[in-house]
Amino acid sequence: MDNKSVSLAKVAVFCGSNFGFSDEYAQAARRLGAEIAARGLTLVYGGTHKGLMGIMADTVLQAGGRAVGIINQRLYDRGHLHPGLSAHEIVVDMRARKARMADLADAFIALPGGLGTFEELFEAATLTQLGDHSKACGALNVRGFYEPMRAMLDHAVQEGFLKPQHRDMIVIDADPGGLLDGLAAWTAPTVTKWLGDPEPAA
């Protein structure tokens, strides 16, 4: 991986198809959607009208921005496709959905969510760690939602399973504008994944 900063045009956002118990989560989805639209970025997301996903897409579209949905066939058949998207694609399954979102996006953001959100964020980060792509990953830390993840990553470093550079490559910020700024300024780590291996020459 090189250490050049990324150029953001399309941002993939992973987030819950539920709303969460606090209205702060919906407010954060609206703020992020508004910030994406204001910066002229394209939102790439899972394509549904459900939960935080729908709120964020609605906000982007209402602000005149562009929202592209990638939805799998099963959810499309259930009527979960957002009806007002700028564009959408229907793919065969969740694996194809993630792969297509990764192809389209320049960077990734996770809002609060459940198992799917966590899995999507860590897959994107793992592909960056391994050098399969060189794309920034971030988490919008609403209500301290991602503090347990930060602690888990610290623990993985302390126990010898993760390098500090790979822990630090996930940008975590509570402010949508600050998070997008951090992703735009991000540079890929140049260390190898494996502890004890010699590092590549600069």
pLDDT in tens, 32-83: 999 999 999 999 999 999 999 999 999 999 999 999 999 999 999 999 999 9
Residues ≥6 apart with Cβ < 8 Å to 97: 46, 70, 71, 72, 91
CATH class of the structural domain 10-185:
alpha beta
**Whether pLDDT at 183 is above 80:** yes
Q: Give the rounded percent of residues in the chain with a pLDDT score beyond 90.
A: 88
Q: How far apart are the first and last CA of the chain?
A: 11
pLDDT at 5: 45
**Whether pLDDT at 154 is above 80:** yes
* Reported pTM: 0.91
- Token digits of residue 139: 């988490």
pLDDT in tens, 116-150: 999 999 999 999 999 999 999 999 999 999 999 99
Distance from C-alpha of 36 to C-alpha of 7, rounded to nearest angstrom? 14
pLDDT category at 178 given cuts 50, 70, 90 is very high
* pLDDT, mean of residues 19-27: 96
Lowest average pLDDT, out of 4-13, 136-145, 188-197, goes to 188-197
191 or 3, which is more confident: 191
List % helix, strand, coil for the chain (3-state, nearest 5). 45, 20, 35
Residue pair 56/41 in contact (Cβ under 8 Å)? The answer is no
* Domain map (residue ranges) of the chain: 10-185
Helix and strand numbers, DSSP H then E, in the chain: 8, 7
Query: Locate tokens 């499309």: which residue?
Result: 76
pLDDT at 189: 85
The neighbour count for residue 181, using CB atoms within 10 Å, is 16
pLDDT category at 2 given cuts 50, 70, 90 is very low
* b (16+ CB within 10 A) / e for 43-79: bbbbbbbbbbbbbbbbbbbeeebbbbbbbbeebbeee
30 or 3, which is more confident: 30
pLDDT in tens, 104-120: 999 999 999 999 999 99
